[in-house]
Structure 1
Amino acid sequence: MSGEASTALYQKRFQWVIDYIYDHLDQPLDLNKLAEVACMSPYHWHRIYHATYGETLASTVKRLRLHKAAGKLANSDSAVAEIAKTSGYTSLQSFSRAFSETYGMPPAKYRKQGSHTQFHINDRCASGTTRSTSMHEVNIKQVEAFEVISFPHTGPYINIGHAFEKLFGWLAVKGLFNPEMKVLGVYYDDPSSVPENELRSAACVTLCGSNDIDLDENMALATIQGGEYAVLRFKGPYSDMHKAYAWLYGEWFPKSGREPGNQPAFEDYLNNPREVAPNDLLTDIYLALK
């Protein structure tokens, strides 16, 4: 088999496994089953996956399950026991223990005190006026246009990690990963007006070196438009960021004297969820200004 054919085969195997994990997070996912999906022996597949992604398969599954659970805790009223079940945990106790180890507090407490709670929209007083419950620093930055490799995602924004996992696997197999690359998420639609399963977004990385890259068929070169942006730094799990957007649009814009521009919002991910705890993740949210 030629080197090019071998690279393409490994790329497909990574995509098969990532698709299977995302589709079966609520079911048992052991090394043997994922190796079967990849059509390789468990021993060899696990070593290849670990070398490529920088974490074990077990760590990937745990990270994605808890990300899913954190999103439901922050954004739904589902019972904690039901969230545990749909996140692939066989008991509430094992779920609570894993969640506490990763997010620093048990699920019920996280629902009430997680990072999403720092961005409460104004409370309305009995008089009909509003009062601010949170203040956050927003910087205005001038951004020069730049190009990115874009991998599209359609569906709930919280699941854009599916596209990122595939993109990172592609970069690793192609030998294109560079630690100087910026990792960005671009979000094209308003989730309050577009059905969740139709939301359009893209997992992106900045180009390093030549633009002459043989992209996969579902990838493209895209341009992040230049101009003025309002930038808010968010610290915490990705699943909590929708509250920051609500605060920006509901509180900051009305008081800023500025209006949002026509370019899509994007997020600049400043550290790696494989290397830091969810509560220590740093993200700069960029909203274009007129």
Structure 2
Amino acid sequence: MLERLNQCMEYIERHLDQPVDVAELARVAATSEYHLRRMFSALAGLPLSEYVRRRRLTVAGAEVLDGRVTLLEIAVRYGYGSGEAFARAFRAMHGVGPGEARRDGSPLVSQPRLTFRLTVEGSSSMRYRVVERAEFTVVGLKARVPLVHVGPNQAIIDFVRGLEPGVLEALKGLPGQEPEGIVAVCDDLDPSRAEGTELDYYHGVVTSAAAADVPEGAVALPVPAGTWAVFTTSGPTPEAIQYLWRDVFTEWFPSNPYRGRPGPEILRTRMSPDGTEAEAELWLPVEREPVRV
């Protein structure tokens, strides 16, 4: 997988002055567009689209300082429809406009070209299982919240604190399925997985209940049949859970013949009495990678 990702980086470098076709990148990586975007974001720490934008503006910055072609020619070469649009993007990354940078020789920001390498650690094993599930339903209370990569998600904390205890008890009374009990479900995430982008958060249960049994104020999210990878962890909260999410994409996916597929991500958490430790089970929708010949 890492070798194919590096081939994608070569492709991007050759097409910085052209639209980058993500479908073609996925073909180079021998995976789906959905999985490529998720893998890149997890490994690189920024969305694929943001990396391409920053690489373009890095190369454009060198040409601005070089001074041999006009600023409008540079803008058009790197896909900006006007000099004004280029100037706004340039200033957002470099902190100065292109005209000022050319005139004063201002220092610019550089986005290094990425290369993916394997680091062998093997200090711990990852506990997981792969299961086939028939269709089921998530029933719960729903909110639109921002994505937070590290540390507590205050929007989710505030949402859960504001829930009526009676509704939660009604949810617990529905016929349960694995993972049992109250779960946190994330759905409709932005493909970029960028910090601050929004997602649908459900606080509810996995059930086989019919639509007529949904408690007042709750909503139902139908989930089709499919394959799920189930990961378990324990440790300080929220770090242990966030590190699990990271490790799945940086260690498990590159080492196993599966890729992510669209669908909700389900987290079941059991807290210690003092609230500092957690045991967690993370369910991710996956599919087998196609056999390449």
Coarse TM-score class (shorter-chain normalised): 0.3 to 0.5
Bigger radius of gyration among the two: 2
Tell me the TM-score normalized by structure 1.
Answer: 0.46
**Which structure has the highest helix share of the two?**
1
